[in-house]
Amino acid sequence: MIIDISQPLGPETVPWPGEPHLRQEWISSRERGDRVNVAEIRLAVHLGTHVDGPAHTGDGHPPIAEAGLEPYVGLARVRHAIGARALGPELLDGVDLRRTPRVLFRSRARVDLRAFPHGFAGLTAALAERLVAGGARLVGTDAPSVDPQESEALEVHRILREGGVAILENVVLDDVPEGEYTLVAAPLKLVCADSSPVRALLIAPDA
Q: Is residue 207 predicted with pLDDT exceeding 70? A: no
pLDDT of residue 4: 98
Task: Read off φ and ψ for residue 19, nearest 5 degrees.
Answer: -95, 160
33 within domain boundaries: no
pLDDT of residue 64: 98
pLDDT of residue 56: 96
Residue 96 CA to residue 114 CA, distance in Å, equals: 36
86 and 124 Cβ atoms separated by less than 8 Å? yes
178 within domain boundaries: yes
Pairing of strands 73-80, 102-106: parallel
What's the CATH number where 77 sits?
Answer: 3.50.30.50
For residue range 57-105, list pLDDT tens digits in order: 999 999 999 999 999 999 999 999 999 999 999 999 999 999 999 999 9
Tell me the DSSP string of 81-127: -TT-SEE-GGGGTT--TTT--EEEEE--SS--TTS--TTPPEEPHHH
152 within domain boundaries: yes
Total number of domains constituting the chain? 1
22 within domain boundaries: no
27 within domain boundaries: no
pLDDT of residue 181: 98
pLDDT of residue 206: 78
Residue 139 CA to residue 72 CA, distance in Å, equals: 10
Residue 15: pLDDT band with limits 50, 70, 90: very high
Q: Whole-prediction pTM value?
A: 0.96
Q: What is the mean pLDDT of residues 19-26?
A: 97
Q: Which of 193, 150, 179, 188 is nearest to 75 (CA)?
A: 179
Considering the candidates 46, 50, 56, 157, report the single residue annotated as catalytic: 56
Q: What is the mean pLDDT of residues 15-44?
A: 97
For residue range 191-201, list pLDDT tens digits in order: 999 999 999 99
Q: What is the mean pLDDT of residues 51-55?
A: 97
190 within domain boundaries: yes
Pairing of strands 122-123, 86-87: parallel
For residue range 124-171, list pLDDT tens digits in order: 999 999 999 999 999 999 999 999 999 999 999 999 999 999 999 999
164 within domain boundaries: yes
21 in active site: no
188 within domain boundaries: yes
**Domain boundaries, position 139:** 2-8+44-203
